[in-house]
Amino acid sequence: MYKYFWGMGNNMTNRIGLWLAFVTLSFTMLSAQNTFAQGAGDLVVTPTRIVFENRTRSAQVTLANRGSATATFRISLIDMAMDDSGEMATMPDTNPHSATTMVRYAPRQIDIAPGAHQVVRLSLRKPANLEDGEYRSHMFFRAVPPESAGRSVTDETDLQKNELRIQLIPIFGVTIPVIVRNGKLTVNVGLSDMVHTPKTDKIPEHLEVVLKRGGNRSAFGDLVATYQPADGGQEIIVGRISRIAVYTPNTKRHVFMTLQIPDGITLKSAGKLRVTYRATDAEGGAMLGEQSLTLK
C-alpha cells in the first residue's frame, strides 16, 4: 500500500515546486503471532482467532499496548487468500465466501495509552437463507503513524527547487481471522508426501509434509513430529508447529518443519518418524490425520 503526501510551491509556472513526498509502506504480519513492534510500543491482540458458529452472535477482541508511547490503530475487515505454502495475501477479486457483510464491529479506530488496553466488539448478522458453508475475512489492525512522522523543520527549508525527497516510513499491522460457520459442516485431513531431510551445512534437519483437506470447512490444529527408535525405545517429540490452518477453499498445504532434536539423540536408520495433526481444543481436539516414515 502506498500513500503519498505532496507539497507544492507557489510558483507553478516556473517550477514544479514539489518539496516533499512520503512513501508509506504497509507491512502486514500474516502469521500466527499475536504480538508486533510498533515504533515505541508493542501491540498484543487476544484472542488471535474469532469463530462464529452455532448460536454465537457476539465476540470481542482486546488490544493491549505494552509500549511506552500512545499508539493509534485503524481497524478494518479485509479478505485474504492462502496459497499452498500457507502464505497469506489480500484478495484483489470478489470473495463469494467473505464475512465482511455479516460482521459489524466498533470502534473503527482507537488510541491506546501506554500500559492500557481497549476492546473491539464484534456482532454477527447472518442474512436470510444464507447457504451452508464457512465464510472468512480478517480483522486488520493497522498502526497509524503520528502526523509528524518523518517530518522536520529542515524538510521544509533545505530542499532546493525541483528536488524530490522520498522517505520510507514502515507501518505495521496485524491480522486475525474472523470465521462464520453456517449449517452442518465437516472437515477431514490426510497427510501425504512426507520427506525427511538430514542437516547439511546449508539447511537444518527438517520434515516436509502435505496436509490435504476435504469437506466444507477449514482445518485448524497442531502438527507434532515424533521419533521412535528402531529398538522400541521411548517415542520422542522432535518437532512441533502449533495452530496451523488450512483454509477453504484450499485443498492442501505444504508444510516445512524444522526438527528440534534433543541433545544426545540421533535419528538413525530403521527408526520411525511420525507426524500427527490434531485439532485444537477449541476445535474439538480430534485427531485429524497422521503419517509415518521409516528412516533409511
pLDDT in tens, 180-200: 999 999 999 999 999 999 999
Is 120 or 147 the better-scoring residue by pLDDT?
120
Whether the pLDDT of residue 35 is over 50: the answer is no
Other CB atoms within 10 Å distance of the CB of residue 19: 20
Domain 21-182: assigned CATH number: 2.60.40.10
Cβ atoms of 137 and 100 within 8 Å: the answer is yes
**pLDDT value at position 160?**
61
Q: Tell the residue number behind the cell numbers 518437532, with chain if given.
A: 239
Whether the pLDDT of residue 293 is over 60: the answer is yes
Lowest mean pLDDT among 63-72, 100-109, 165-174, 224-233: 165-174
**pLDDT value at position 295?**
94
Residues 259, 32: Cα–Cα separation, whole Å: 19
**pLDDT value at position 37?**
37
**pLDDT value at position 16?**
30
Domain boundaries, the chain: 21-182, 187-294
Residues 236, 290: Cα–Cα separation, whole Å: 16
Q: pLDDT per residue over 241-285, tens digit each?
A: 999 999 999 999 999 999 999 988 889 888 999 999 999 999 999
pLDDT band per the 50, 70, 90 thresholds, residue 22: very low
CATH of 187-294, one of 3.50.50.60, 1.10.10.10, 2.60.40.10, 2.40.50.140: 2.60.40.10
**pLDDT value at position 92?**
76
- Pick from 125, 112, 121: which is nearest to 38 by CA? 112
Lowest mean pLDDT among 128-137, 141-150, 176-185, 263-272: 141-150
User: Is it true that 21-182 and 187-294 share their CATH fold?
Assistant: yes
Mean residue pLDDT across the chain: 83
